[in-house]
């Protein structure tokens, strides 16, 4: 079971296509692993075992007949419980939606089903992708796979934990202010926020309409490109969906970085705010690795980090309040306090302030686009701090303000978090690799070269065995 648990999407895909690996065998191994260990990690809210078995059996029958739908055919994945799946609850990890049942699939779930992928279950998150780990919620909070006492990042917490613990080779998350890249950073996996509009958000419960992105979390960069390829594409059901056909995200992924110009947005973490020593040390070594691989390193200067963050926060809070206004008036007691306290301030943001933030956003987008004309990609930190205790709400709240992910939600441009090493006490550190809109292919090329040179993606957390009941099957 352990060999199959950490099999990559790419390897599983090749073996399934060659009829050397059964999708049913792989799915059963992962379902068994979820049952054996997820009681300690709480990555899953619900395990869709019946659906997974049906999809795996159908994929296997098709492959045996010689039908091949693509690289995700017969390969399992899991989804943050913010995506609609027909007949199951889209709970958003909230008491308000415990009795919800989806009438149809989110477009990205339907696209993956068409690709022949196998859905293992629905994953934990911060309530409505905006709260935090708290005992007030109906299901336990996901735990950091490297230390169960620590926060795993959010809001796509279960997505990062499932991938890191080998209970899913890939997972779907959403990212409004960093919610794919934060758990990827804390859990030592790869998390991509693609260009705004690249992946449909139809059937995904919104947090902030103009900042929300859907993105994949995986253990390797190659796997991330494969999963995004199966997810991306125009969707008429999403008015913000781009009509631009997705690139071949794996094209040139093995070309290396020799001759590329890589910018470093150092002032974000060295001047605007000061990063923890471990995070700064990790990215410094990573930059040296890229230099040794043949890249030209040069500085990139943008507006202060705080300007990007304040712009994004004003937009997020205004739009989140618009989403939740009715429920906050009618059922405020059913929100966790941490979620309520995050959303309510949006009621007091004036329309003029929201409009000014959107105007500033256009200025910042233009600034970033101009800066990226001089480089192929840029790197900066993801988090300023290391994960703190999961029961330390005050420190967790501070860490959400001390990060460099929001700028790239404001610009809507691709950003990937990849591990940069491990601290003396075994916790992962990470950086972001970012580029201009629709240049995911270049981001993946640089990320792959770096990760292949360092081997950090091959390291897995020590597995803790069952401590509590696993998530229920649905």
Query: Which of 13, 94, 155, 159 is labelled catalytic?
Result: 155
pLDDT in tens, 168-215: 999 999 999 999 999 999 999 999 999 999 999 999 999 999 999 999
Tell me which residues of the chain have a pLDDT lower than 50: 1, 467-468
Please report the pLDDT score of residue 399 as a whole number. 85
- Token duo for residue 46: 């619900």
Annotated domain spans of the chain: 2-305+355-458, 317-354
Fill in the DSSP letter of residue 149.
T
pLDDT in tens, 249-298: 999 999 999 999 999 999 999 999 999 999 999 999 999 999 999 999 99
- The span from the CA of 347 to the CA of 318, in Å, is 7
| Residue burial 37-55, b: 16+ Cβ < 10 Å; e: rest | bbbbbbbbbbbbbebbeeb
pTM (global) more than 0.85: yes
Please report the pLDDT score of residue 135 as a whole number. 84
- The span from the CA of 382 to the CA of 417, in Å, is 7
Instruction: Confirm if 136 and 47 have CB atoms less than 8 A apart.
Output: no
Residue 19 catalytic? no
- Token duo for residue 186: 């804390």
- The span from the CA of 203 to the CA of 279, in Å, is 36
Please report the pLDDT score of residue 474 as a whole number. 72
Residue 179 catalytic? yes
Query: Which of 107, 179, 241, 250 is labelled catalytic?
Result: 179
How far is C-alpha 224 from the chain's CA centre?
A: 10
Please report the pLDDT score of residue 468 as a whole number. 46
Q: Which helix (H) or strand (E) holds 473?
A: none
Please report the pLDDT score of residue 470 as a whole number. 59
Residue with structure tokens 């696993």? 470
Residue 398 catalytic? no
Please report the pLDDT score of residue 463 as a whole number. 83
- The span from the CA of 142 to the CA of 134, in Å, is 10
Please report the pLDDT score of residue 101 as a whole number. 96
Average model confidence (pLDDT) for the chain?
96
Query: Which of 13, 22, 49, 80 is labelled catalytic?
Result: 80
Q: What is the CATH number of domain 2-305+355-458?
A: 3.90.1300.10
Sheet strands (E) in 278-370? 296-299
- The span from the CA of 350 to the CA of 211, in Å, is 19
């Amino acid at each position: 079971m352990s060999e199959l648990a950490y099999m990559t999407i790419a390897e599983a895909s090749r073996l399934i296509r060659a009829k050397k690996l059964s999708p049913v065998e792989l799915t059963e191994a992962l379902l068994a692993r979820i049952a054996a260990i997820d009681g300690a990690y709480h990555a899953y809210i619900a395990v869709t075992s019946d659906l997974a078995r049906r999809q795996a059996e159908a994929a296997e029958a098709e492959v045996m007949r010689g039908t091949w739908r693509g690289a995700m055919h017969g390969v399992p994945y899991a989804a943050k419980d913010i995506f609609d799946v027909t007949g199951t609850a889209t709970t958003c990890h909230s008491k308000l939606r415990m009795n919800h049942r989806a009438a149809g699939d989110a477009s990205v779930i339907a696209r993956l089903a068409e690709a022949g992928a196998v859905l293992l279950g629905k994953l934990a998150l911060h309530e409505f992708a905006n709260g935090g780990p708290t005992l007030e919620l109906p299901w336990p909070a996901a735990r950091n796979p490297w230390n169960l006492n620590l926060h795993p990042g959010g809001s796509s917490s279960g997505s990062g934990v499932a991938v890191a613990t080998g209970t899913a080779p890939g997972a779907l998350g959403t990212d409004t202010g960093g919610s794919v890249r934060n758990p990827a950073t804390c859990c030592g996996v790869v998390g991509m926020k693609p260009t705004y509009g690249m992946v449909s958000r139809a059937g995904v419960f919104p947090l902030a309409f103009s900042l929300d992105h859907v993105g994949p979390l995986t253990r390797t960069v190659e796997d991330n490109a494969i999963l995004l390829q199966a997810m991306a594409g125009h969707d008429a059901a999403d008015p913000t969906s781009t009509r631009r056909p997705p690139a071949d995200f794996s094209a040139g992924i093995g070309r290396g970085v020799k001759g590329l110009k890589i910018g470093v947005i150092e002032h974000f973490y060295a001047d605007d705010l000061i990063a923890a020593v471990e995070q700064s040390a990790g990215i410094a070594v990573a930059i040296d690795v890229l230099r040794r691989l043949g890249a030209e390193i040069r500085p990139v200067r943008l507006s202060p980090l705080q300007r990007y963050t304040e712009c994004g926060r004003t937009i997020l809070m205004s739009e989140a309040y618009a989403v939740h206004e009715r429920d906050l008036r009618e059922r405020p007691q059913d929100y966790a306090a941490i979620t309520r306290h995050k959303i309510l301030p949006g009621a007091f943001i004036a329309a003029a302030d929201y409009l000014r933030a959107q105007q500033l956003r256009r200025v910042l987008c233009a600034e970033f686009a101009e800066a990226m004309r001089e480089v192929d990609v840029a790197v900066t930190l993801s988090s300023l701090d290391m994960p703190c205790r999961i029961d330390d709400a005050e420190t967790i709240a501070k860490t959400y303000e001390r990060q460099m992910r929001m700028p790239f939600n404001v610009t809507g441009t691709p950003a990937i978090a990849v591990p940069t090493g491990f601290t003396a006490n075994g916790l992962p550190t990470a950086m972001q690799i970012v580029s201009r809109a629709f240049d995911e292919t270049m981001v993946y090329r640089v990320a792959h070269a770096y990760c292949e040179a360092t081997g950090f993606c091959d390291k897995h957390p020590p597995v803790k065995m069952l401590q509590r009941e696993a998530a229920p099957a649905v």
